[in-house]
Amino acid sequence: MTDFTPTEMMTIAAARALSNDDVCFVGIGAPSAACNVARLTHAPDITLIYESGTVGTKPDVLPLSIGDGELCDTALFTVSVPEMFRYWLQGGRITTGFLGGAQIDRFANLNTTVVGPYDHPKVRLPGGGGAPEIASNCGRIFITMALSKRGFVEKLPFITSMGHGEGGNHRERLGMKTKGPTRVITDLCILEPDPETKELTVVSIHHGVTREQIVENCGWAIKFADTVIETPVPTETELAVLRDINARTKKAHQGTEKGKEAA
Amino acid sequence: MARILSLAEAVAENVKDGDTVAMEGFTHLIPYAAGHEVIRQGRKDLFLVRMTPDILYDQLIGVGAARGMKFSWGGNPGVGSLHRFRDAVENQWPRPLEIEEHSHAAMANAYEAGAANLPFATLRGYIGADLPKVNANIKQVTCPFTGEVLAAVPAIRPDVTIIHAQRADRKGNVLLEGIVGVQKEAVLAAKRSIVTVEEIVDELNPPSPNSVVLPTWAVTAVVHVPGGAFPSYAHGYYPRSNAFYIAWDEIARDRETFTAWIKENVLDAKPEDFARHAAKSAKAA
């Protein structure tokens, strides 16, 4: 078996969650890596959509931003941003949203807005962008985040996008017809919401990871499902594809430009 | 009819202290050269509007030109924080910044409402999210037909919108293509508009019938600034400088290095300096 890093395992496990029929709204960073690995392995016909308006895009390198030229050059078509959010997202034509965040709670609500009070934040984060409506309008949501006490917190200071709210049937009570977060993929394990309470529960543990490690890295008393499996390790092909695209991406985004040259 | 002006003239005539200003561009075609001219002319108390304030608004905030900002995602895409924006919000440096925060969907709808001369936009948005608790401009309306409760936000009506585009003809008709973002809506929503372009040509020759064309009578001023979107990009002309976006993190992290960068590259510079980015990329391509 080839060695692999926890981040590689996370990305590959996230890629496997996607299928060829998915129409996927892709966030930048880990979600983008996972979606493109899926496209380059088991899901060649997956439709990837970035909120800049590019639909059916097939980038050769991972974009640094949600609007890199590569995304438009390789897209089936490109629409304006209002059209993207109105016709395609709110119109209910996207099966899967793929999000990350700075913080998550046990009901898969996400915070990317502030740490501390909103008016006097300790840390001002970038904000929600497309996430509030991606979370409510896509058919289902996958989330990918490294498991850590800083990220997996007992209580969010701010809910940027709703997952399962207070748990149970909270989404239905608010009139939402979509499933919300159905899977959270971390570098140590995979979590899914309990069918009744909607509390995130460990269902799969990555190779070589212990339950104690998972408990120690989560900010709440994390629960394990009755049946927990071991996540299949990355295949040679999956690892090769991921490493290839990461290497191409690193090369593409490095430059000799120094800030002082740009005006 | 759009007037074809120099950048200094266009900004002097159309951007006033205290104005609500939208400089749009969704990653692509961001009007950097025009933003730098606004800084050089010393505009102050601006209320900045933009879906994705990135480096350009970090610069305007860092020099103290802004009293407030309406936005939906304020970061350096793929890199991390905007340090000047954070310093203003967290430490009130160089001055406090009033923020009005929305989601992308709401901002896009609000620009459309502005372009359509409607007072507000409605969307199925913000469900279960905390932003409505901290933003009094996010309200609810009930559909008169179905009874569904929807989010409502006020239309965006900037005093002036500034965008960058690929080209204009000599009459001032403007063509954009590629990722067209929310620029058309932002121009049509505004009282006045400035469009900087890579080229001024005899005929637009749109290569695709789906290109966005803003007719001369819907635009106030057109300015020829080749390379004017750098380090953002102009599809078909030069690529995005992802290396510069990465380099900005270090420049902006520290107040002194930021201020020195602004002096050298904005205050002591001119719009013509942007041309070398277009020329360099054309040679490389």
Query: What is the total count of domains within chain A?
Result: 1
Chains A, B: CB contacts under 8 A, how many? 215
pLDDT band at A260 (very low <50, low <70, confident <90, very high): very low
Residue A261 lies in a domain: no
B269/A123 Cβ within 8 A: no
Q: Bridge partners of B50?
A: B71
Q: What's the full length of chain A, in residues?
A: 263
Residue % of chain A over a pLDDT of 70: 96
Q: Which of residues 125-184 of B touch A (CB under 8 A)?
A: 125-131, 134, 148-149, 178-182, 184
Amino acid type, A243: R
> Which chain A residues have a beta carbon less than 8 Å from that of B178?
69, 72, 78
Task: Mutation target for A interface from B7, B24, B28: give the one with most A CBs within 10 A.
Answer: B28
Residue A259 lies in a domain: no
What ipTM was predicted for this assembly?
A: 0.95
Instruction: Confirm or reject contact between A75 and chain B (CB < 8 A).
Output: no
pLDDT band at A263 (very low <50, low <70, confident <90, very high): very low
Question: In this complex, which of A51, A69, A124 lies closest to B239 when CB atoms are compared?
Answer: A69
Residue A263 lies in a domain: no
* Mean pLDDT, rounded, of chain A: 94
Residue A29 scores a pLDDT above 80: no
- Number of Cα atoms under 13 Å in the Cβ half of residue B179: 34
Quick: pLDDT tens for A63-97. 999 999 999 999 999 999 999 999 999 999 999 99
Residue A1 lies in a domain: no
pTM assigned to the model: 0.95
CATH of the domain at A246: 3.40.1080.10
Query: pLDDT means per 10 residues in chain B (285 residues)?
Result: 97 98 97 98 98 97 98 95 96 97 98 98 98 98 97 98 97 96 98 98 85 96 98 95 96 98 98 88 47
Query: Do the strands A189-193 and A200-206 form a parallel or antiparallel pair, or are they unpaired?
Result: antiparallel
Residue A260 lies in a domain: no
Q: Active-site residues of A: which are they? A: 51
Where is A111: in which H helix or E strand? strand A110-111
How many Cβ atoms from other residues are within 10 Å of residue B67's Cβ? 16
SS3 A189: strand
Query: Residue A51: which residues within 8 A CB-CB, separation 6 or more?
Result: A25, A66, A81, A84, A85, A129, A130, A134, B104
Question: DSSP labels for B188-234?
Answer: HHSSEEEEEEEEEES----SSTT-EEE-GGG-SEEEE-TTTTTTS-B
| DSSP for residue B265 | I
> Which chain A residues have a beta carbon less than 8 Å from that of B103?
128-133
State how far residue A71 is from chain B, nearest Cα, in angstroms: 9
Paired tokens of B282: 């054309």
> Which chain B residues have a beta carbon less than 8 Å from that of A69?
28, 178, 233, 235, 239-240
State how far residue A253 is from chain B, nearest Cα, in angstroms: 6
> Which chain B residues have a beta carbon less than 8 Å from that of A259?
244, 247-248, 250-251, 261
Residue A255 scores a pLDDT above 70: no
What pLDDT is recorded for position B91?
A: 96
Which strands form A223-231's sheet, in the order they lie side by side? Answer: A77-78, A54-55, A47-50, A23-26, A96-99, A140-144, A181-185, A189-193, A200-206, A223-231
Quick: pLDDT tens for A126-160. 999 999 999 999 999 999 999 999 999 999 999 99
Task: Mutation target for B interface from A64, A71, A162, A260: give the one with most B CBs within 10 A.
Answer: A64
| Apex B112 CA angle, B10 and B86, nearest 5 | 70
What pLDDT is recorded for position A258?
A: 43
Instruction: Confirm or reject contact between B240 and chain A (CB < 8 A).
Output: yes
What pLDDT is recorded for position A254?
A: 76
B129/A160 Cβ within 8 A: yes
What pLDDT is recorded for position A27?
A: 82
Query: Do the strands A114-115 and B120-123 form a parallel or antiparallel pair, or are they unpaired?
Result: unpaired
Residue A161 lies in a domain: yes
Domain range spanning residue A52?
A: 6-254
Task: Mutation target for A interface from B39, B92, B123, B131: give the one with most A CBs within 10 A.
Answer: B131
What pLDDT is recorded for position B208?
A: 78
Question: In this complex, which of A72, A81, A257 lies closest to B243 when CB atoms are compared?
Answer: A257
What pLDDT is recorded for position B112?
A: 98
